[in-house]
Structure 1
């Protein structure tokens, strides 16, 4: 689709790299912890917008800590397996696969969530009109921006791979880090600004994926050092300099990378333990697609029906419903012939397969 076999053969003639295994259990742990933070963060913001938890400085700091790295973590992990997927499927096959498992659910669930917001407009924090449904093609809403930008990353990096004989991802990551840090001066459109903010993590993931065994060994062996670096970075960033995650600068980039490496170190050391996190990670995509509906629905019922205003109750129940209800809905849909809600019917490739999940 994006290049000939000749162009692709030039790509794979790059310097040798280790062949990746088919499945890395620790990845599900990383995605499990990451998606729990995603749901928790959105529930937290939902109750704040609804006026249930306002003026709480601790929650503001907690929000900034979470948002400083939780989405970059997913870009990084996706980058780790970029080469593995490219070698397995080639450029055109990888694009088709990502269309089925990223673009298709993006369109389906952006539409479903938009319709829900329209129907329940008097109860939700958002304001979505029927005319805006079409705009999801160029202006992603709410949490769906991640899928939009992730697909952009795959397309852009595939184009790079089929266009050049070899790519130095260390050099590319350095260049992208400057674009990430100074993107505010470029005054780029919203979509391209989001791409520049996150492409560097995808690129660094690709770089680390080329040396996966060494990368795993370092993260597992030096977990305590990573804890100290990530913890000190978060403390200095938030409590010494009183920054928040939206600040553009190399300190923000370093903070994200330090936190990502620590979380991956934790994931590597969790293998074989706390399987509930691994299970949650396995279902991270369905959770991401549905959690705003189920989490917000929990807030609406608690606040509007039962008149519960305790923010801790909202956070606990909202997060639990945001994580486990999507898993139940996904299983129900697949068991009753409604799997097309999640993946393109032509392929029937499950969102839970390693190739489509990464």
Structure 2
């Protein structure tokens, strides 16, 4: 971690030097909290406990930028990582830290299916063919699968000028694609990775931005996001790219406002454990929902919305920070 008073700009390569800024962790914390909330809200809506325009707007607003923010952050240090590790070691690392947990949790989720089926809104019996097809096309967990191929595409385009890579990514992202589900997702999300690669370590210049200016920028971008989503939504390739970029920028401005604050420290703590939260949150979320419904016999909207979100964010993070003590590191990265 960077010491208080030291900026990431003071280190030429934060990712290679072992030092990092809390700013990126804060954004990851905000984004993963929105991911967990979005999944919880969907579960509440599917059970008929939350209906109406408020639910629809909430979902559209969150989904317009929370996943693009992760792809953007993933691109920030790609070029430095490639330079440091080399192409082969970079690729191997992505196999161990992204593709491996994707495959592992596909197996775990399938194995636990018969035990959790009675708590699910819908359940499909296990079939090997369907399982293997879902794993192969990324349907099991689209984010990790898509991220893996986006980062390989980043490797293939590493020698291009940043502006050209981003331009080509946008063109590919808005063009109609006649191919598989995963090809379409990779081409749609890669523009955010390319944007992150273009910004790179310059993102830490934000640490010097006055908080009053950050607040003004947040109000302007946030207002733009709300108005655009309300009238146009984020459906459509151009809208998705625009809303993803403006929403991500707003998250960084919000992170700047929360730096060196207790709330910011908590969000940074969540952000550093975002992989564990992404992989394990569904189990914590489902368990909390079952306890509320079957033990306390309540389907109160706010309880069913807020408590599963809180536990699904915090419990996986605790597992992440205790992975060495509990010998659970194999859940998140290749153990050999």
Candidates 290, 306, 313, aligned match of 2:280: 290
Cα deviation, residue 221, structure 1: 7.5
Q: Which residue of 2 aligns with 1:15?
A: none
Once residues 43 and 169 of structure 2 are traced to their aligned partners in structure 1, the CA distance between those partners, rounded to angstroms, is 32
Once residues 217 and 26 of structure 2 are traced to their aligned partners in structure 1, the CA distance between those partners, rounded to angstroms, is 17
Deviates more, 1:200-209 or 1:42-51: 42-51
| 1:315-338 deviation line (CA, Å, top 9, x unaligned) | 111101101121233345431323
Once residues 126 and 290 of structure 1 are traced to their aligned partners in structure 2, the CA distance between those partners, rounded to angstroms, is 19
Residue correspondences, number:
318
Q: Which residue of 1 aligns with 2:250?
A: 262
| 1:141-174 deviation line (CA, Å, top 9, x unaligned) | 45x211101110111121233xxxx312212212
Aligned partner of residue 175 in structure 1, secondary structure: helix
Cα deviation, residue 214, structure 1: 4.5
Q: Which residue of 2 aligns with 1:322?
A: 312
Once the two structures are superposed, the pairs formed by residues 48-63 of structure 1 within 5 Å of their partners are 48-53=45-50, 55-63=51-59
Q: Which residue of 1 aligns with 2:335?
A: 345
The question of 1:92 aligning with 2:88 is answered yes
Once the two structures are superposed, the pairs formed by residues 1-358 of structure 1 within 5 Å of their partners are 19-21=12-14, 22-53=19-50, 55-131=51-127, 132-141=130-139, 144-161=141-158, 166-182=159-175, 185-209=176-200, 211-214=202-205, 217=208, 222-239=213-230, 241=231, 243-245=232-234, 247-274=235-262, 275-346=265-336
Cα deviation, residue 60, structure 1: 1.1
| 1:122-142 deviation line (CA, Å, top 9, x unaligned) | 221242433243334313345
Aligned partner of residue 268 in structure 2, secondary structure: helix
Once residues 86 and 118 of structure 2 are traced to their aligned partners in structure 1, the CA distance between those partners, rounded to angstroms, is 48
How high is the TM-score relative to the length of structure 1?
0.82
Question: Unaligned 5+ residue runs, structure 1?
Answer: 1-17, 347-358
Q: Which residue of 2 aligns with 1:3?
A: none
Deviates more, 1:20-29 or 1:100-109: 20-29
RMSD, aligned CA: 2.2
Report if aligned partners of 1:118, 1:128 keep a CA contact under 8 Å in 2.
no
Distance 1:303 1:328, change over 3 A: same
Once residues 83 and 31 of structure 1 are traced to their aligned partners in structure 2, the CA distance between those partners, rounded to angstroms, is 19
Distance 1:61 1:270, change over 3 A: same
Distance 1:140 1:251, change over 3 A: closer
